[in-house]
């Protein structure tokens, strides 16, 4: 008898242009409305047509937000799907799709006859009126496996295609319900068995991507200008803020290049706005001089970098954590900056909001590091906490004797803006005196350098300390940062090990003061990173005097899976006999 599953890992795969993304969108929205926890993440190639893309959709009765290797139901839509995913197919994988694709997979030894079920989505679509409905039929099959209420499905398609007319609406509904019947048959035949029921509480959840969460966090942080040049995978933030611009009073500018983007942002902060630019590693490389300018101006600035594998163009649609050192050391000269790396969709919202507060309060550039995995993932979010009060700019009304760079004990000078008060607000990219006038006085040079660097003490007071998950008394520590949070959390929970704790950093520079004691007290410290050189481990050694006993590094462009991190826990922290 087929074992009952309390979760489904569904993978759909086809070539670019075949609508895999459309199916992901249909499934995640309907399944969330039906009351399930859902998580979706796509793997796609950097081409308009062809290749082999896939999407993983996890459906569960408990919160899930991590990538898994295993596949419960695989729906191949082109001849490359089975060869591309063969390393993830097991004897427990049910493969459903066109007969010719299944036959080719059997002939190649990838799948067996008893794990295959033939369903022609093209034929279902033709019968419903158009081959364009094949994606809808595939989605309908999944709905049938899960027994989603048919009225919910019909209502969704009527709303989704309201502008297309009744014929398109009904065609999609017919295709979905025929696919639904095929999915119900799989359950009735015992090919898949579920212990998975929806919850009404989930119906009110938000379904968000990482890109949307960063954008919403920027709005909560008071962002009122974004100037960016499109670059995958960061463009989703620009698109989201453009969609919300009219509602929240945001000026949106698609600029000519990344140099213009950061300079526009610095100029906007100078005028009293709260600006953001969003880019990826290659674009941020062009912003390095602008970062240094913000350092000399002592200007707030918020920069979002959605990382992807480099160098150069690299793998532009895959994921990596390879730009940490770029963010930490970007820009010539020495000046303070903060680098944040949210670990989840919920954190992406709050971390981005805080980035604006930190930038404004401390007059420093703040970099938010995400990656393709986090940007393109979707999952349920139970709710996001709105700010208790509107963001308040830390701007002073200047008097006639105002000095933009007045020397203070804290290193923080009052920030004025042009036109607000009687004073002259003078900036200069050269070394300058307290009034902002160019100087080559070497004593003043020393004072200004020390003044800027003194803000590292203020940053320490406002630092986001790392989160410790698991047994707080555990002497084995797994260190993670950024988007490896959720996969590490799930793997640790599945391991059942109480001798291991997870220490996750969402502020990666400067290293938060509290991290040093936690790491020093551990017997064994292992780090996981999505890069080839252990960039965060190097920062921990340099700035927290931390001992990293082992590094587990991955840099093939794919995220860690729960299974891989479970193996890390087993191999790096052997249980005592």
Q: Which residues contact 310 (CB under 8 A, 6 or more apart)?
A: 281, 282, 320, 322, 323
Q: Count CA atoms within 13 Å of residue 245 on its CB side.
A: 13
Within 10 A of 217 (CB to CB), how many other CB atoms are there?
A: 27
Topology classification of domain 4-204: Pyruvate-ferredoxin Oxidoreductase; domain 3 (3.40.920)
pLDDT value at residue 577: 53
Burial class (CB in 10 A: 0-12, 13-18, 19+), 313: exposed
CA distance 20 to 126: 19
pLDDT value at residue 2: 64
Cis ω on the peptide bond leading into residue 311 (within 30° of 0)?
yes
Q: Which residues contact 403 (CB under 8 A, 6 or more apart)?
A: 413, 434, 435, 436
Which CATH architecture best describes the domain 208-381? 3-Layer(aba) Sandwich (3.40)
Q: Is 128 strand, coil or helix?
A: helix
Domain ranges of the chain: 4-204, 208-381, 395-462, 467-572
CA distance 503 to 67: 20
Local mean pLDDT, 10-residue blocks, the chain (577 residues): 82 87 92 95 85 93 94 95 96 96 96 96 94 93 96 93 91 96 95 90 92 98 97 97 98 97 98 98 98 98 98 95 98 97 97 98 98 96 87 95 96 96 95 97 97 96 96 96 98 97 98 96 97 98 96 97 98 86
147-150: Cβ within 8 A, 24+ apart: 147/184, 147/187, 148/30, 148/31, 148/34, 148/180, 149/34, 150/177, 150/180
φ/ψ of residue 24, rounded to 5: -55, -45
CATH numeric code, 467-572: 3.40.50.920
Closest C-alpha to 75, from 6, 126, 121: 121
Burial class (CB in 10 A: 0-12, 13-18, 19+), 373: buried
> What are 260's two structure tokens?
């213009």
Cis ω on the peptide bond leading into residue 233 (within 30° of 0)?
yes
CA geometry: angle at 470 spanning 468 and 472, to 5°? Answer: 65
Global confidence as pTM: 0.95
Q: Is 15 strand, coil or helix?
A: strand
Between the two ends of the chain, the Cα-to-Cα distance in Å is: 35
CA distance 110 to 116: 11
φ/ψ of residue 282, rounded to 5: -60, -35
Q: Beta partners for 252?
A: 226
pLDDT value at residue 26: 92
pLDDT value at residue 1: 43
CA distance 269 to 256: 20
266-297 burial code (b ≥16 CB/10 A, e <16): bebbbeebbbbbbbbbbbbbbbbebbbbbbbb
What are the strands of the beta sheet with 467-470, ordered from one edge? Answer: 467-470, 500-505, 476-481, 524-529, 550-553
φ/ψ of residue 5, rounded to 5: -105, 140
CB 27 within 8 A of CB 139: yes
Residue reference for tokens 């994988």:
93
Q: Which residues contact 224 (CB under 8 A, 6 or more apart)?
A: 248, 249, 250, 251, 273, 274, 275
CA distance 233 to 371: 7
pLDDT value at residue 50: 79
Q: Treating both helix axes as pointing N-terminal to C-terminal, what angle do 562-572 and 485-495 enclose, rounded to 10 degrees?
A: 60
Helix (H), strand (E) at residue 194: strand 193-194
CA distance 431 to 445: 6
> What are 46's two structure tokens?
């950097």
CA distance 209 to 198: 21
Query: Does the fold of domain 208-381 match that of domain 4-204?
Result: no
CB 362 within 8 A of CB 391: no
Residue reference for tokens 């009744």:
166
Helices (H), 298-377: 324-329, 345-362, 372-376
């Amino acid at each position: 008898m087929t074992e009952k599953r309390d979760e489904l890992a569904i993978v759909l795969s086809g070539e670019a242009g075949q609508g895999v993304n459309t199916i992901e969108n249909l499934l995640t929205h309907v399944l969330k409305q039906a009351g399930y926890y859902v998580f979706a993440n796509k793997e796609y190639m950097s081409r308009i047509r062809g290749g082999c893309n896939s999407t993983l959709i996890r459906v569960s009765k408990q919160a899930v937000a991590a990538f898994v290797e295993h596949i419960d139901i695989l729906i191949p839509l082109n001849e490359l799907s089975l060869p591309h995913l063969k390393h993830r197919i097991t004897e427990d994988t049910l493969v459903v799709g066109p007969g010719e694709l299944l036959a080719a997979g059997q002939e190649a030894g990838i799948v067996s006859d008893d794990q295959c079920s033939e369903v022609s989505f093209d034929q279902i679509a033709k019968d419903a009126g158009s081959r364009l409905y094949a994606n809808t039929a595939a989605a309908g099959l999944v709905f049938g496996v899960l027994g989603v209420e048919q009225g919910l499905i019909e209502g969704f398609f009527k709303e989704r295609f309201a502008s297309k007319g009744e014929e398109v609406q009904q065609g999609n509904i017919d295709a979905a319900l025929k696919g639904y019947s095929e999915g119900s048959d799989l359950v009735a035949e015992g090919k898949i068995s579920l212990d998975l029921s929806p919850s009404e509480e989930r119906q009110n959840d938000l379904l968000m991507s990482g890109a949307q969460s960063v954008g919403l966090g920027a709005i909560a942080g008071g962002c009122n200008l974004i100037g960016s040049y499109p670059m995958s995978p960061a463009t989703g933030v620009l698109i989201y803020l453009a969609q919300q611009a009219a509602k929240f009073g945001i000026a949106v500018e698609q600029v000519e290049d990344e140099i213009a983007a950061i300079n526009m942002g610095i100029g906007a902060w100078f005028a009293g706005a709260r600006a953001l630019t969003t880019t990826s590693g290659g674009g941020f490389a062009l912003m390095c001089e602008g970062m240094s300018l913000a350092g000399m101006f002592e200007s707030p600035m918020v920069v979002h970098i959605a990382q992807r594998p480099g160098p150069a163009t690299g793998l532009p649609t895959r994921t990596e954590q390879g730009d940490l050192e770029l963010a930490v050391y970007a820009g010539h000269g020495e000046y303070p900056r903060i680098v944040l790396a949210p670990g989840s969709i919920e954190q992406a919202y709050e971390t981005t909001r805080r980035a604006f507060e930190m930038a404004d309060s401390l007059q420093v550039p703040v970099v938010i590091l995400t990656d393709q995995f986090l940007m393109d993932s979707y999952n349920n979010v139970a709710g996001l906490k709105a700010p208790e009060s509107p963001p308040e700019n830390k701007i002073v009304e200047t008097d006639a004797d105002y000095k933009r760079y007045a020397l203070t004990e804290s290193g923080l000078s009052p920030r004025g803006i042009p036109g607000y008060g009687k004073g002259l607000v003078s900036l200069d990219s050269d070394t300058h005196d307290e009034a902002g006038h160019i100087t080559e006085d070497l004593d003043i040079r020393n004072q200004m350098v020390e003044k800027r660097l003194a803000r590292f003490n203020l940053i320490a007071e406002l630092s986001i300390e790392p989160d410790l998950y698991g047994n707080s008394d555990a002497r084995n520590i797994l260190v993670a940062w950024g988007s490896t949070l959720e996969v590490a959390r799930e793997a640790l929970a599945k391991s059942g090990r109480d001798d291991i704790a997870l220490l996750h950093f969402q502020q990666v520079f400067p290293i938060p003061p509290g991290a040093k004691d936690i790491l020093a007290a551990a017997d064994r410290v292992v780090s996981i990173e999505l890069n080839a050189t252990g960039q965060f481990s190097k920062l921990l050694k340099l700035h927290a005097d931390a001992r990293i006993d082992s590094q587990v590094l991955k840099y093939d462009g794919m995220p860690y899976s729960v299974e891989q991190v479970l193996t890390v826990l087993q191999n790096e922290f052997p249980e005592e006999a």
